[in-house]
Amino acid sequence: MSVVQFTKEMKKDYTILVPTMLPMHFKMLCRIMKNFGYNAELLENYGQSVVDSGLKYVHNDTCYPALLVIGQFIDAIESGKYDPHKVALLLTQTGGGCRASNYISLLRKALDKAGYGYIPVISLNFSGLDSSPGFKITLPMLRQMVYAVFYGDLLMLLRNQCRPYEVEEGSADALCDMWTKRLVEEMSSGNMEYERVKQNYRDIVADFHNLERTKEQRIKVGIVGEIFVKFSPLGNNHLEDFLVAEGAEVSMPGLVDFCLYCVYNGIVDTQLYGTGKLKSGVMKWVYDFLCKKQQDLIDAIRENSDFSPPTPIDHTRSLVEDYIGIGTKMGEGWLLPAEMLELIDSGVTNIVCAQPFGCLPNHIVGKGMMKPIKERNPGVNIVAIDYDPGATRINQENRIKLMLSCAADNMKNEAKV
């Protein structure tokens, strides 16, 4: 299998296809790439054809997120919308023990099998695993990407806290779309000074705070799990929409937490294994920088609304220390049970743990930690939902409905006390 690289010449007229995960976040990230000369386009093809393409070109023992991402790429290429000789595919590569590190190789094999071996694949990574001479992330580009992730988390959090209570159906989504478009335009103009970013936080919070909402009580349901099926509507069969349709308020820790988890693991490696102190020092600086930015966002919410802000990552990490070692960092590692405990600590006692087929680390730190968490937190209602090509949506939704029924009974009993 030959490796086709994305060259500097390709930057001029190639379209870079980006798989979906967090639609609001990724739209902004694609816009930033366009600002720096890359014609990036977020894929929005869903449905059974994506799964079928994945099953056709990827072994069915491969983890479900890999199957979906590769299936989405090939389904898009075969849609006729793009010239296969003028597209490149961009995929993140995490490093570490997660098989996501091998997605690049799996994708290249699938492209060869499908007759598209000439399509270049770009690895987005910070570990030196793979390189593309025509695609470079510069510091100005990275800076804008960081702010886009914070913007995306803020919009997702406020949207989730408004949707179940909105008087005018669709008003929260419309506000998200308006702000996403506005932020994209600001990014295009290069207006990314941090004081402007903080003012945008306050303006976004104020707009959502002013949405007309009902005062009724709703069941709060947290979502945790493997990063792709936790966030991606493609991966979790539009889980957020289903929960809202069932009358629940969704609570979901954001992408910033996962980024901080990855950075913090670089600090822990020095403590546990004696790896390079220089790398640890850099990671410590990045971690402190991101924590400060996270606190600015939290302050903007607390000072300008009655919405529940994100939990500072240091507090989230402290919650899990008596349950699992911080050196547990395969896949979502210690972060997954920490997010369960974070939700419980904030009063969200009903949790869906999204589990993809074929992800052993996720099952260990997800399903494997459910029993000790339940034992030490009586009344907590956690259900693990498996997502794979053979799992029916009806079965998944019926299991969630059963959890919601138990949650409704618990709410009634608490109201009687």
Taking each helix axis from N to C end, the angle separating 139-162 and 23-35, rounded to the nearest 10 degrees, works out to 160
> What's the CA dihedral at 141, 143, 149, 151 to 10 degrees?
-110
Cα–Cα distance, 262 to 93 (Å, whole number): 12
**How many other CB atoms are there within 10 angstroms of residue 323's CB atom?**
17
Domain coordinates in residue numbering, the chain = 9-136, 218-253+312-417
3-class SS of residue 268:
helix
Which run of H or E residues covers position 315? helix 313-320
Q: Are 157 and 148 in contact (CB under 8 A)?
A: no
The reported pTM is 0.92
- The type of residue at 204 is I
The alpha helices in 58-132, defined as continuous H runs, are: 64-77, 103-114
**Cα 190 to the center of its chain, rounded Å:** 25
218-253+312-417 topology per CATH: Rossmann fold (3.40.50)
Supply the pLDDT for residue 128.
Answer: 58
Supply the pLDDT for residue 101.
Answer: 66
- Of the candidates 271, 295, 293, 296, the one whose C-alpha atom is nearest the C-alpha of residue 281 is 271
Tokens describing residue 389: 């090509």
Which pLDDT tens digits describe the chain residue by residue (417 residues)?
A: 568 889 999 999 999 999 999 989 999 999 999 989 999 999 999 888 999 999 999 887 788 888 999 999 999 999 999 999 999 999 887 666 666 667 788 889 999 999 999 999 998 876 656 678 889 988 889 989 999 999 999 999 999 999 999 999 999 999 999 999 999 888 877 667 899 999 999 999 999 999 999 988 899 999 999 999 999 999 999 999 999 999 999 999 999 999 999 899 888 888 887 777 787 888 899 999 999 999 999 999 999 999 999 999 999 999 999 999 988 888 789 999 999 999 999 999 999 999 987 788 888 888 899 999 999 999 899 999 999 888 888 899 999 999 999 888 878 777 665
What length does the chain have? Answer: 417
CATH architecture assignment, domain 9-136: 3-Layer(aba) Sandwich (3.40)
